[in-house]
């Protein structure tokens, strides 16, 4: 693979895939204002930006809860799906696996099937523009196993080949991993790949539990793996990718928590160490609107961490290689 010149222009033009991206975290301040106006609430873009500024993980969860409170009907989801597609095309993203917070939809007594149908309709026009989207139905860990099982049932009800995986996000410290074993067995029986957020704010044991108890195929974040060399060996040997979101890790305080000190910067991120240990890494944005980032900026961040030209190229390739439904597995 040719070297990647160290210019942001090239990073912007590089064909990309993204595998850890929450639809609800892509809502730009102007779009938030459109949503709130539709529901009779007066909010300015400055109000949104203040909401999108936080210093720790709980602050991020509060902001996420607030913005998703304005997603109330299928038309709202169609709006943000359309905006997401435009954002991805502008970054030359060719393929994305987008996470939907179906657990939140169910908590709010919405019909995920109707919301998902609207999302598919909004995204359909972009297929002819060289953008492939697949979807991940996501449960919220602190809501418990029964609520998570309802997310699997919703995926079954939608019966769409474009739903490729089941995952769990939220507070990874809240409920024991073993309690979700039956949920993941049901997801696998439904033909869904297995994902989970682990080792973002939790320790390496959360990643090991996910791998050994839930048979996870990719780990969301997983930066705590750096604390346990044997776990890094396991991830490298089994070729289990980590979905690394560096700017998210800085802005939620996850990196500070894992580093056990304040004042951390991108230069403190373990991405280079994890990558050079042989663990597959797929670079992602997580919640780009809420973290003031995009995928091009994440590649630039990896560059700032000292990754070489060829290593940046390997990162770009890895996100295609480890996608669940990208047929070619190469990019050009």
Beta bridge partners of residue 194, listed in sequence order: 166
Tell me what pLDDT residue 274 has.
98
pLDDT band (50, 70, 90) for residue 7: low
Tell me what pLDDT residue 180 has.
98
What pLDDT, in 10s, does the model give residues 250-283? 999 999 999 998 889 999 999 999 999 999 999 9
Tell me what pLDDT residue 286 has.
96
Q: What global pTM score does this model have?
A: 0.93
Tell me what pLDDT residue 56 has.
81
Tell me what pLDDT residue 6 has.
46
In whole angstroms, give the CA distance from residue 35 to residue 40. Answer: 9
Mind listing the domains of the chain with CATH numbers?
8-321 (3.20.20.140)
What pLDDT, in 10s, does the model give residues 192-204? 999 999 999 999 9
138-to-12, 17, 102, 291 alpha-carbon distances in Å: 29, 19, 6, 20
Point out the residues that are catalytic: 200
Residue 239, helix vs strand vs coil: coil
pLDDT band (50, 70, 90) for residue 331: low
What pLDDT, in 10s, does the model give residues 105-141? 999 999 999 999 999 999 999 999 989 999 999 999 9
Residue 212, helix vs strand vs coil: helix
**Interval 135-157 mean pLDDT:** 98
Q: Shortest CA distance to 82 belongs to which of 146, 23, 139, 167? A: 23
- Please, what is the average pLDDT of the chain? 93
Tell me what pLDDT residue 295 has.
94
Whether 224 shows a pLDDT value over 70: the answer reads: yes
**Interval 159-188 mean pLDDT:** 97
In whole angstroms, give the CA distance from residue 279 to residue 232. Answer: 7
Least confident of 4-13, 280-289, 316-325: 4-13
Tell me what pLDDT residue 5 has.
44
**Interval 166-182 mean pLDDT:** 96
């Amino acid at each position: 693979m040719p070297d990647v010149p160290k210019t942001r222009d090239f990073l912007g033009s590089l064909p990309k895939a993204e595998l850890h991206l929450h639809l609800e975290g892509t809502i730009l301040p102007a779009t938030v204002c459109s949503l709130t106006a539709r529901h009779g609430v007066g909010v300015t873009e400055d109000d949104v930006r203040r909401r999108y500024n936080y210093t720790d993980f709980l602050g991020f969860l509060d902001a996420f809860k607030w913005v998703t409170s304005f997603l109330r009907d299928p038309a709202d989801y169609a709006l943000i799906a359309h905006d997401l597609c435009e954002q991805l095309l502008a970054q030359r993203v060719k393929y994305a696996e987008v996470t939907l917070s179906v657990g939140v939809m169910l908590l709010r007594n919405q019909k995920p099937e109707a919301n998902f149908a609207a999302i598919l309709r909004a995204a359909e026009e972009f297929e002819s523009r060289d953008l492939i989207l697949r979807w991940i139905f996501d449960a919220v860990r602190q809501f418990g196993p029964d609520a998570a099982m309802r997310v699997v049932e919703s995926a079954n009800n939608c019966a769409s080949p474009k739903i490729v995986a089941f995952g769990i996000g939220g507070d990874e410290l809240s409920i024991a991993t073993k309690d979700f074993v039956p949920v993941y067995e049901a997801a696998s029986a439904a033909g869904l790949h297995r994902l989970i957020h682990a080792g973002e704010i939790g320790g390496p044991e959360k990643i090991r539990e996910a791998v050994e108890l839930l048979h996870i195929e990719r780990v969301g974040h997983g930066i705590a793996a750096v604390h346990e060399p044997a776990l890094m060996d396991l991830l490298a040997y089994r070729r289990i990718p980590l979905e690394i979101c560096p700017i998210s890790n800085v802005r939620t305080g996850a990196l500070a928590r894992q580093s056990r000190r304040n004042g951390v910067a991108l230069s403190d991120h373990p991405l280079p160490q994890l990558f050079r240990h042989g663990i597959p890494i797929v670079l992602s944005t997580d919640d780009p609107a809420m973290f003031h980032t995009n995928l091009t900026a994440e590649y630039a961040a990896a560059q700032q961490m000292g990754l070489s030209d060829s290593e940046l190229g390997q990162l770009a390739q890895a996100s295609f290689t480890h996608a669940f439904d990208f047929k070619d597995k190469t990019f050009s």
